[in-house]
Amino acid sequence: MKDKGWFSRNIYKNRRIYMAVFAMYTLIILGIFIYYSNMRERTYVVKGTIEGGGTGELSISAERSKEWKETGTPGFDRGMEYDFVILNSGHGDVLEWQAEIDFVTDFVIDSSWNGDFEVKDHTLVVKPDKKTKEMESKEEKTFGLVMISIDEQDVQEYRIYYKENFQITDSPIFWIVIAAAIITLTVFITDEINLQRYSKLRKWQEEIQAILLESFTTFANIIDAKDPYTQGHSLRVAQYARLIAQKMGYSDIDQERVYWIGMLHDIGKIGITDVILQKPGQLDNMEYSTIQTHVDIGGLILKDFKALPDIADGAQYHHERWDGKGYSRHLAGKDIPEIARIICVADSFDAMTSPRVYRKALSIEFAKKELMKCSGTQFDPDIVPVMIQLIDEGVVPINI
Ligand SMILES: [Fe+2]
């Protein structure tokens, strides 16, 4: 359950990180959009002369294609036809341009094409029509007029006011953000799929673990059922062994292994007749020897249990003594596998503090003294202090 909480928290944390990243992308795109919208509203101006070129990327050229002496308009004696070309030589598209072209003398417009024309003093104001008001890069538009002028006419300066047609898609940052967003989305989806798979796998693992735990507990109950006076003995020994392993610095997984191994340490008792196991009173030498065979039987039963290393050792060697006077192989000191030395201490403490058919349960204080007295003879002198510490902390004994 603890792990499940961690898992859920991490999914939530991951999703929050992705949401924050997507929010950041949205803010950047919104920022670019606002920036380009503002840029679209700005009016630029370029100036120039027909002969001398302009100051910017927009320029106007003119051609006086016809000229004649005007007789039909009082006060005006010249007629001229002008054809203008406005060129966008820049890289961007242009919107809503408007041109002002200065002439030297007064004039009136006789006719015009491709735009709205107006005269202010000597200045021709040209507003493009729908067809000509937008100009892509490198595009040119033409417009022109027939004017009636007072005198010899000539084109002087011009000014062009325009807006640039900025699009958000013109921004390289926009495309970088879009690419980053697509990559992030792909990673997010992959991550989500993996998390779902992991979640299913984890659930399956938890089920397997529950089956394992319940199977081991069932085995432990079967072992304990052989002797009504040792009810809960295997589970308590397993729990004490795990607590010792925890204090000795075993990893979580190894503590779990110690627990399972502890549960089956007396599995060999399955092979001992109930008559001896459940005999009230003291056992004779023959019966005691028979009981002792449970360690060899246990080792034999578990010898092929490869998935849980040391489980056979736990059963085989938990009655060995530190001084070599135990059974059945008479190993001594560190030749006895550590798992068996841990179980030996846990087993003896539970045996002392549990009632037997021939005596009542001994006190915790007595058991503690016995452990200390036999430290270095029966028990591993490094493990006894660990068990004493657990007793002093009140963690041991437990009731099952
Ligand atoms: Fe035993």
Q: How far is the CA of 234 from the centre of ligand 1 (A)?
A: 9
Q: How far is the CA of 191 from the centre of ligand 1 (A)?
A: 50
Q: How far is the CA of 65 from the centre of ligand 1 (A)?
A: 121
132-187 pLDDT, tens digit per residue, is 888 999 999 999 999 999 888 888 899 999 998 888 888 899 999 999 999 999 99
Please report which residue ranges of 162-310 form alpha helices under DSSP H. Answer: 172-225, 233-247, 252-263, 274-277, 285-292, 294-302
Residue 270 confidence (pLDDT): 93
pLDDT level of residue 2 (50, 70, 90 thresholds): very low
Q: How far is the CA of 266 from the centre of ligand 1 (A)?
A: 5
**Mean local confidence (pLDDT), 108-125:** 93
For the residues of 143-180, what is the DSSP string, one character each? Answer: EEEEEEESS---EEEEEEEEEE---GGG-HHHHHHHHH
24-69 pLDDT, tens digit per residue, is 999 999 999 999 999 889 999 988 887 766 567 888 988 998 999 9
Q: How far is the CA of 347 from the centre of ligand 1 (A)?
A: 7
Residue 5 confidence (pLDDT): 61
Q: How far is the CA of 181 from the centre of ligand 1 (A)?
A: 64
Q: How far is the CA of 316 from the centre of ligand 1 (A)?
A: 9
pLDDT level of residue 8 (50, 70, 90 thresholds): low
Least confident interval from 49-53, 117-121, 230-234, 370-374: 49-53
Residue 283 confidence (pLDDT): 86
The span from the CA of 32 to the CA of 171, in Å, is 8
Q: How far is the CA of 319 from the centre of ligand 1 (A)?
A: 6
Q: How far is the CA of 288 from the centre of ligand 1 (A)?
A: 12
Most confident of 128-132, 220-224, 323-327: 323-327
Higher pLDDT, 91 or 357: 91
- Taking the CA atoms of residue 247, residue 248, residue 253 and residue 254 in that order, the dihedral angle to the nearest 10 degrees is -140
Q: How much of the chain is helix, strand and coil, in % rounded to 5?
A: 50, 20, 30
The answer to whether 46 and 59 are in contact (CB under 8 A) is: yes
Q: Is the pLDDT of residue 396 over 90?
A: no
Residue type, 205: Q
**Mean local confidence (pLDDT), 248-264:** 96
The answer to whether 145 and 117 are in contact (CB under 8 A) is: yes
Residue 1 confidence (pLDDT): 39
259-282 pLDDT, tens digit per residue, is 999 999 999 999 999 999 888 878
Q: How far is the CA of 295 from the centre of ligand 1 (A)?
A: 7
Domain 42-168 has CATH 2.60.40.290: yes
Q: How far is the CA of 362 from the centre of ligand 1 (A)?
A: 18
pLDDT level of residue 333 (50, 70, 90 thresholds): very high
**Mean local confidence (pLDDT), 369-386:** 97
Residue 245 confidence (pLDDT): 98
Q: How far is the CA of 291 from the centre of ligand 1 (A)?
A: 9
Q: How far is the CA of 343 from the centre of ligand 1 (A)?
A: 9
Residue 74 confidence (pLDDT): 83
**Mean local confidence (pLDDT), 295-309:** 94
Residue 184 confidence (pLDDT): 94
Q: How far is the CA of 365 from the centre of ligand 1 (A)?
A: 23
Residue 7 confidence (pLDDT): 63
Residue 309 confidence (pLDDT): 85
Q: How far is the CA of 209 from the centre of ligand 1 (A)?
A: 26
Q: Is the pLDDT of residue 326 over 90?
A: yes
pTM for the model: 0.61
Q: How far is the CA of 298 from the centre of ligand 1 (A)?
A: 9
Average pLDDT, the chain: 91
Q: How far is the CA of 312 from the centre of ligand 1 (A)?
A: 13
Residue 278 confidence (pLDDT): 84
Q: How far is the CA of 375 from the centre of ligand 1 (A)?
A: 19
Sign of CA dihedral 19, 25, 31, 34: negative
Q: How far is the CA of 313 from the centre of ligand 1 (A)?
A: 12
Please count the other Cβ atoms lying within 10 Å of the Cβ belonging to residue 100.
Answer: 17
Q: How far is the CA of 248 from the centre of ligand 1 (A)?
A: 23
Q: How far is the CA of 344 from the centre of ligand 1 (A)?
A: 8
Q: How far is the CA of 307 from the centre of ligand 1 (A)?
A: 22
Q: How far is the CA of 211 from the centre of ligand 1 (A)?
A: 25
Topology of domain 226-392, per CATH? Hypothetical protein af1432 (1.10.3210)
Pairing of strands 123-127, 116-120: antiparallel
